[in-house]
Structure 1
Amino acid sequence: MIQSVFLALAILIAYLGFAEWFSRFQHRRISKKKGCGMPPMANGGFLGWYGLYKTYQITSERTYPHSMRMGLEAFGHTFVYPVPGTDMLQTIHPDNIKAILATQFKDFSLGTRHKIMLPTLGDGIFTLDGEGWTHSRALLRPQFARDQVSHVASLERHIQVLFKTIKKENKECDPAKGFDIQELFFMLTLDTATEFLCGDSVDSLTDYLADPTAPQLDHSGIDENVRRAFPEAFNTAQWFCSIRAKLMKLYFFAGTVFYRKKYADANKIVHDFTDFYVSKALAARKEKFQELDQEGKYIFLYELAKETRNPKVLRDQMLNILLAGRDTTASLLSWVMFRMARQPETWKKLRQAVINDFGDTPDELSFESLKRCEYLRYVLNEGLRLYPSVPMNFRVATRDTTLPKGGGPDLDQPIFIPKGGIVVYSVYHTHRAEEYWGKDTEEFIPERWDPAEGYQIARGWEYLPFNGGPRICLGQQFALTEAGYVLARLAQEFETVTSCDDKPLPPKYNTHLTMSHDDGVWLKME
C-alpha cells in the first residue's frame, strides 16, 4: 500500500516536472518564432514551490514590496518569478506598463479579481472587465465632475474632531512613544467618505474621541450596532480580500471554515450598512433631490439613484468607491506625515507656505486655492512617488501577445506573453528607479518637483500614482483635494511634528489592497 502511494506520488511529480519543462520549451519556441527574446528567470525551485515560500516569507516579514528590489538588482527591470502553476512576469519598465494599461489594453484583463472580491465588492468598477466595466465607468464618471470634488466645506466638521483627537492623544500619550496618526487618518477618511457617499457620516472618529461634551449625532435611523460595527467589519472584509488576491487562482483556499464564517459575518455588516443608505436614496422623492440641490449639498448615492434604480448596482458601486476613497487618501496622508516627522524642517517649510498663501484659518481654502500652494503640491507628489497607494498590480493576458522590453541578452527585445500569462507591474519600484529619478530616489525631497531646483523628474509612464490608460483613477482629484485640505489645516493648527519612530528605513509594509505602514505612524504634534 505504502509502495503504491510512493509510486503514485513519483509519477505525479514526474508528470508535473515534465509539464513544466514542456511549457517552458513551448514558450521558448513561440518566442523565437515571434522574434522575441527570453527574459531572465529567478530561481523558483522545483515547480515554483521555492518561489511560493519566498513570497510567503517576505509577506510575513512585511518587507514586500521593497524586497522585490533584490530581484530587480539581480535581473533588471523585467524578469520571470516562478510560483506553482505559473511563471509570473514581473516588470517595472515604463514601456511595458504603458502597453499593459494603454496601448495594448484589450490584451489584458483583471483575471480572477472579480471572483476574489465578489463577496465584498460585488460587480463594481474595480472588479469588472469588458462591457461591465465600461458601463460602470460611464455611470460613475459624472459623479466625479469638477463641481462635486471641489466642495471642501463638508470636511471642516471632521477636521475639528481630528484636531480635538490629536490634542487629546498628544496630552495622554507616552512622550517617548507618541500616538499613531495613521489610525486617526483611516477613521477620518472613512467618516468623510461615508458622508460624501451616503449623506451621513459613520463618525468613527467621534466615537473614538468619546467626548461626553460633544453634541449627540443624528444618524437618520440606522441601527446603531450596525453603524458602530461597520468600520471594523469593513477592515476585516478588506483583509480577507487581500489574502484571496495573493493566492490568485487558489483564492478559494483562503482560510478555514471558521475564518470563512468571520469573512461572511463581516460582509453581512458591510452590506447591511450600505443597503440601509441605498434604500434611503431609492425612497427619496423628487422634492428631496431638489432640496439637496438648493442646499448645494452633493450626495453620491442620491445622484447615482437618478441614473439607476437597481439596489445591487448602487450598493456595489458605492462599496467600490468607498474602498478607494477611504484607503488611498488615508495612506497618502500617513506616509507624508511619516516622512515629514523625520524631517522637521520640511514640516516647517510646508507650514510657512500654507500660512503665506491662506493665513491660519480655513476661510481661504478651496478646490481652486489649494492648487495655488506649490509646496503643498510638491509634498503630495513626493508622497505619492515614494509610497503609491497601490504599489503593485497585475493583469492576465486575454490572448497571446507581447510586451516591448525585457528579453534577450541586452534585455531590450520584446517578450512573449501567452494567453493566461500573469504580468505583475510595480509602480513602487518604477518611482524609485535611478535612471528616471536620479541618485537620491529613496529620499523624501518635495523640492525635486520644483523646476527651478534642477532635479531629474520623470513625468510620463514613470510616474503613475493613480494608474494610467482607460482605467486611470476617476477619483484622483477628489483624493488630492481632500489630502491637500487636511494637510493644509494640520499645518495651520500645529507648529511642530516630531517622530517617535527611530527604526531605520525602509519601514514594514502592510500591503493589503492598499499600502500602509504596518507599525503605524507614531509621532507628536504641538
Structure 2
Amino acid sequence: MSVLFVIVQCGTLFFVVKQLLHYISAKWKVAEGTKGGCEPAHVFPRKDPLGIINAIAHGRARDQCRWPNHLFEILDTGGKNIHTVWERPLGNDFLLTRDPDIFKAVLATQAEAFVLGEGRSQNFMDLFGPGVFTSEGKAWQHSRALVRPQFARQQVSDLTRLEDHLQQLWQRIPICNDRWTDVVDLQPLFLDLTIDVITELVLGYSVNSQDPSLRSSLPGVNAPDSAKFARNIDAGASWITRRAVFGKWYWLFQSRAFNRSCKEIHDYVDWFVQMELSGKMSSQAKQTESARPHFVLLEELSKITQDPLELRNETLNLIPAGRNTTASLLGWAFYFLSRNPSTYGRLREEVLNDVGASGVDDSTKLLSCQYLQWCLKETLRLCPGAPAIIRKATETVILPRGGGKDGNSPVFLPKNSLVLLCIHALHHREDMWGHDVEDFKPERWRERPFAWDFLPFSAGPRKCLGQQLGMTEASYVVARFAQRYDKIQNVEAPGPIKYLTHMSMRSGTGVQVRLHQDENFVVSR
C-alpha cells in the first residue's frame, strides 16, 4: 500500500511540475511571438495555473450540448471584432480562430506545416486503425491514393440503392387517416438509413438496421451479427468524442466497454474482408436471391491490395464518416425546414418543377434544382457536421492574422502548437453573413461565390472525399420527402438549439416533426 502511495505521489508531482514548466514555456512563447513583426493574440484567461478548470468547462459544455456556444464565448472575450484567441486547457495550447485567412493558411497555403495531431489521429486510431481518416504523412498519401479514385466513380451515387433504403424508412412512418403521421423523430431514422446505405456501398451488404428481418441475408457460414455493428459504432464514437476534449491526454481515459466495441467492430469487418479475399463473397452472392450492388468499395480495393489489415482499416475509416455526416445534414435540414413552413413550401414547389412529382431517375436533376442546393448549403452553414477541426504545427509558423489589439497583425505559432479551426463560429460571423446570420435563409446563396468563409467539408489536401456522395444522398432524400409530403410541422417546444457533438454534430433534442402526405402521392411499395 505504501509503495502505491509513493507512486501516486511521484506521478502527481511529475504532472504538476510538467504543467508548471509548460506554463512558463507558454509565457516565453508569447514573448518570442512579438519578434519579426508578429503580435501576440488575445489570451483567454486560465481559471487555475494548470488549466484544469478550463478543460472541465469544455467537457461540461459538450455534455450540456452547447460546446459550439462555449467556443463562441471564448472568442468573444477579446471583443466582437477579435476572431483569434489563445486557449490553454490542461496544457493543450491551441489557437482558437474563426478567421478565414487563418483557415486558408492552415488548410491550404501552409498545409505542409500542419498535421492532425494526437487528439485526432491517435485518439481515433483504436477504433478506425490507420487509414485515410486518421493517418499522417506518407501513410495518409498512400491511403488517399488508394481510396480517392473509387469516389470519382458514377456508381457511388446509385439512386436505386438509395430508393430501396428510403422505402424501408418510410415504412417506419405510418400515415393516419387524415394523411398526417404521428409525431416522429427523424434523426434516429436518418442514422439508420445512412448506415444501411454506406455499409452496402463499402462492404457489399447492408447491416439492415431499418429492417431486422433482412439481417439473415448475409451469405456464407458463421456470418456476424449485424445488429451489434451500429450500436458498437455509436458507443465507440461517443467515447472517442468524449475523451477528445482532453487533447493529448486522451489516453488517460480507458474503458473496457470501448475496447470491446472496437474488437467487435473489427471482427465484423474482418469477416467481410476474409470472404472477399477468399472469393466466397461474390460466389455466395450469386446463389442468393439478392445480388450485391454493382459497385462495392471493398471489392474494388481488394483488386489493388490483398493486405487484410489494410482492407479492414480503409473500409472502416469510411463507414462512420459516410454515415454520420450525411445523417447530420439530413437531420438539420428537416430541423430547419419544419420551423420554416414557407421555405419548405417553396422547396417542394421547386422540386416538383425541376425533378418531378415522383421518383428521381437522374442525379443531375438534383444538382440542377437550385433551391434544393441552397437549402442544403444553408443547413451546412448553420450546422456543419464538424463544428471544428484541429491541426498541429510541425514547425514554427507565422500565420497572416490574429495578433495585436485589432487582430490584424501576424501571429507567431510555435512548433507543436495546436490550431482549432472553429467552422461553426466562422459560419456565424455577422460581419460576413449579415444581421440575419442566425436565420435559415436559403436565398442568401443566390449569387454567393465560393470563399473561405464556408467550409463544411474542410478544404485543401484533406478535403472530405465523400462530399459528392453525401450531397447526392442528402439531395435525393430531401427531394423524395418533398415529393411525398406537402407539409411538415415542428412539434418541439421553442428553445435554444442544443448541439450534440458525437463524431458529427446533430440536434441534442432530435428532429421531432409531423408530416402530411400529398393526396396525389402514389406509394410505390
TM-score of the two chains, using structure 1 as the length reference: 0.89
Q: In structure 1, which of residues 50, 53, 56 is the aligned counterpart of residue 56 of structure 2?
A: 53
Moved more, 224-233 or 510-519: 224-233
Shift of 1:283: 2.1
Sort the Cα spacing of 1:436 and 1:230 in 2 relative to 1 into closer, same or farther, 3 A. same
Corresponding residue number in structure 2 for 1:454: none
Q: Output the CA distance in 2 between the equivalents of 1:231 and 1:403.
A: 41
Q: Does 1:328 align with 2:325?
A: yes
Q: Output the CA distance in 1 between the equivalents of 2:300 and 2:490.
A: 42
Question: Helix, strand or coil for the counterpart of 1:439?
Answer: coil
Sort the Cα spacing of 1:273 and 1:37 in 2 relative to 1 into closer, same or farther, 3 A. same
Q: Output the CA distance in 2 between the equivalents of 1:52 and 1:276.
A: 40
Corresponding residue number in structure 2 for 1:340: 337
Letter in 1 for 2:409: Q
Question: Helix, strand or coil for the counterpart of 1:369?
Answer: helix
Letter in 2 for 1:500: V
**Contact (CA 8 Å) 1:237, 1:266: kept in 2 or not?**
yes
Letter in 2 for 1:509: Y
Corresponding residue number in structure 1 for 2:132: 125
Q: Deviations over 1:305-355 (max 9, x none)?
A: 111111111111111111111000000000000011111111111111111
Question: Helix, strand or coil for the counterpart of 1:65?
Answer: helix
Question: Helix, strand or coil for the counterpart of 1:388?
Answer: coil
Q: Deviations over 1:211-269 (max 9, x none)?
A: xxxx88622237566211111111111112212322221112214xxxx2211211122
Letter in 2 for 1:344: P
Corresponding residue number in structure 2 for 1:236: 235
Moved more, 109-118 or 315-324: 109-118
Q: Does 1:500 align with 2:491?
A: yes
Aligned length: 502
**Contact (CA 8 Å) 2:187, 2:510: kept in 1 or not?**
yes
**Contact (CA 8 Å) 1:151, 1:366: kept in 2 or not?**
no
Question: Helix, strand or coil for the counterpart of 2:410?
Answer: strand
Sort the Cα spacing of 1:91 and 1:140 in 2 relative to 1 into closer, same or farther, 3 A. same
Question: Helix, strand or coil for the counterpart of 2:412?
Answer: strand
Q: In structure 2, which of residues 311, 315, 318 is the aligned counterpart of residue 314 of structure 1?
A: 311
**Contact (CA 8 Å) 1:226, 1:269: kept in 2 or not?**
no
Letter in 2 for 1:276: W
**Contact (CA 8 Å) 1:169, 1:179: kept in 2 or not?**
no
Moved more, 298-307 or 225-234: 225-234
**Contact (CA 8 Å) 1:62, 1:509: kept in 2 or not?**
yes
Corresponding residue number in structure 2 for 1:145: 152
**Contact (CA 8 Å) 1:247, 1:254: kept in 2 or not?**
no
Sort the Cα spacing of 1:130 and 1:498 in 2 relative to 1 into closer, same or farther, 3 A. same
Matches within 5 A, 1:149-160: 149-160=156-167
**Contact (CA 8 Å) 1:49, 1:84: kept in 2 or not?**
yes
Matches within 5 A, 1:93-492: 93-112=99-118, 113-167=120-174, 178-207=183-212, 218-221=217-220, 223=222, 226-255=225-254, 260-284=255-279, 297-362=294-359, 364-451=360-447, 457=448, 459-492=450-483
Sort the Cα spacing of 1:172 and 1:345 in 2 relative to 1 into closer, same or farther, 3 A. closer
Moved more, 238-247 or 191-200: 238-247
Question: Helix, strand or coil for the counterpart of 1:402?
Answer: strand
Sort the Cα spacing of 1:492 and 1:174 in 2 relative to 1 into closer, same or farther, 3 A. closer
Moved more, 349-358 or 317-326: 349-358
Letter in 1 for 2:107: L
Corresponding residue number in structure 1 for 2:522: none
Shift of 1:523: 0.8
Corresponding residue number in structure 2 for 1:509: 499
Question: Helix, strand or coil for the counterpart of 1:489?
Answer: helix
**Contact (CA 8 Å) 2:345, 2:487: kept in 1 or not?**
yes
Q: Output the CA distance in 1 between the equivalents of 2:173 and 2:484.
A: 11
Sort the Cα spacing of 1:62 and 1:218 in 2 relative to 1 into closer, same or farther, 3 A. same
Q: Output the CA distance in 2 between the equivalents of 1:324 and 1:41.
A: 34
Shift of 1:359: 2.1
Question: Helix, strand or coil for the counterpart of 1:502?
Answer: coil
Question: Helix, strand or coil for the counterpart of 1:265?
Answer: helix
Corresponding residue number in structure 1 for 2:519: none
Shift of 1:21: 5.1
Letter in 1 for 2:456: P
Shift of 1:33: 2.3
Sort the Cα spacing of 1:191 and 1:170 in 2 relative to 1 into closer, same or farther, 3 A. farther
**Contact (CA 8 Å) 2:208, 2:215: kept in 1 or not?**
no
Letter in 1 for 2:382: L
Could you tell me the percent identity over the aligned residues?
34
Q: Output the CA distance in 1 between the equivalents of 2:147 and 2:226.
A: 25
Letter in 2 for 1:139: L
Sort the Cα spacing of 1:333 and 1:222 in 2 relative to 1 into closer, same or farther, 3 A. farther
Q: Output the CA distance in 2 between the equivalents of 1:287 and 1:167.
A: 36
Q: Output the CA distance in 2 between the equivalents of 1:21 and 1:490.
A: 54
Q: Output the CA distance in 1 between the equivalents of 2:178 and 2:301.
A: 43
Q: Output the CA distance in 1 between the equivalents of 2:136 and 2:451.
A: 25
Shift of 1:90: 0.3
Moved more, 348-357 or 48-57: 48-57
Moved more, 49-58 or 19-28: 19-28
Q: Output the CA distance in 1 between the equivalents of 2:13 and 2:39.
A: 33
**Contact (CA 8 Å) 1:179, 1:524: kept in 2 or not?**
yes
Shift of 1:31: 1.3
Q: Does 1:87 align with 2:93?
A: yes
Q: Does 1:524 align with 2:518?
A: no
**Contact (CA 8 Å) 1:335, 1:387: kept in 2 or not?**
yes
TM-score of the two chains, using structure 2 as the length reference: 0.89
Question: Helix, strand or coil for the counterpart of 2:44?
Answer: coil
Question: Helix, strand or coil for the counterpart of 2:172?
Answer: helix
Structure 2 gaps, min length 5: 517-525
Query: What CA RMSD, in Å, does the superposition of the two structures yield over aligned residues?
Result: 3.0
Moved more, 112-121 or 186-195: 112-121
Question: Helix, strand or coil for the counterpart of 1:166?
Answer: coil
**Contact (CA 8 Å) 1:394, 1:424: kept in 2 or not?**
yes
